[in-house]
Amino acid sequence: INEVYMMHMDELETFVILAQEQNFTRTAAKRSLSQPTVSVHIKNLEQEFATPLIKRTTKHVSLTPEGELFYNQALQIRALYKNLHETFYEKKQQASGLIRIGASFTIGEYLLPKIVAALHIAHERLDFHITIGNTDEIIDAVRRLDVDIGLIEGKSESKDVRITPFQQDHLVIVRSPKSEPKVHSLEDLHNQVWIIREEGSGTRQSFDHLIEANQIQIASTFVFSSTQGIKGSVQNGMGLALLSEATIEEEVKHGTLEIVMDDTLYEKRAFSYVLTKGTKPGRNIQLLLDQLHAQEERSDSNEVLRPPQS
């Protein structure tokens, strides 16, 4: 057998992490290895392929042109290796292993817990590692293969990933029922204080589109990096917010938030899953996709809570 095929997967994994971290100390910590072992792994790869893969300086590590090529191929090899593991699990007719999911905040905090719980009940040997961030962060995690799949509510022009919608979302304007004056028309929305998400968030994209499309004049804004922070601020009368109905069901039910102008002014968007281009979902990811589509069917059959407006 040609020596090129004798490469160990642990050395490949070390190289991938080092290329991403650009630091031997952080790579050693992430791989639970000593720094000398990391150096040995890289040296073995460079000897095996007879080419320098990295450039070392006193402060950080960078890839040589050959290292860049090797890194891109290594990501694909790592994905194929993972799919091979899942194929053997499938032959045993028993789903097992780790699913690494990246999710943007609305999905990660309000939809994903139900989805993962249902999947775990059906396949108790599956393990999950969930990373929550804004849409841009999750797409980047998919691109770097830090997660196996991303779930987002925003849009992206990235050509490195494949984005597929799986459920429609409805965003509405909310306020505190105690706030005055009431909001009955588009004119009432001018010169209001708005509580909004940060740049890079899918919810922020929808807010920006709402404001631009309707030419709404803004008095001022408060920026929060979490939906919970926005809801708490609105409940305390700080201003208005545009939020997904999926995130406010309990608050509307208990009367701590109210929806305004739901029939005339709202935003629609898609919840989507993100995979690297050219990646065929393994069995575990396909199980998750099946659960996502089942969630969509349940969502379509449920009536959204929208009480009469005052």
Q: Sorting pLDDT into bands at 50, 70 and 90, what band is 174? A: very high
pLDDT of residue 10: 85
Cβ contact 34:28 at 8 Å: yes
pLDDT of residue 296: 66
Cβ contact 150:273 at 8 Å: yes
pLDDT of residue 32: 87
Given a cut of 80, is residue 92 above it in pLDDT? no
pLDDT of residue 183: 87
Integer-rounded Cα radius of gyration of the chain: 24
Query: What domains are there in the chain, each with its CATH number?
Result: 3-88 (1.10.10.10), 96-167+270-301 (3.40.190.10), 168-269 (3.40.190.10)
Among 145, 181, 204, 200, which Cα is nearest to 260's?
181
pLDDT of residue 80: 81
Average pLDDT over residues 140-161: 86
Given a cut of 60, is residue 96 above it in pLDDT? yes
Q: What is the mean pLDDT of the chain?
A: 86
Q: pTM for the full model?
A: 0.65
Among 267, 121, 142, which Cα is nearest to 202's?
267
3-state secondary structure of 40: helix
Q: Sorting pLDDT into bands at 50, 70 and 90, what band is 228? A: very high
Residue 220 CA to residue 234 CA, distance in Å, equals 14
Q: For the segment 243-263, what is each residue's pLDDT rounded down to a tens digit?
A: 999 899 999 999 999 999 877
Average pLDDT over residues 158-177: 90
For the beta carbon of residue 200, count every other beta carbon within 10 angstroms.
18
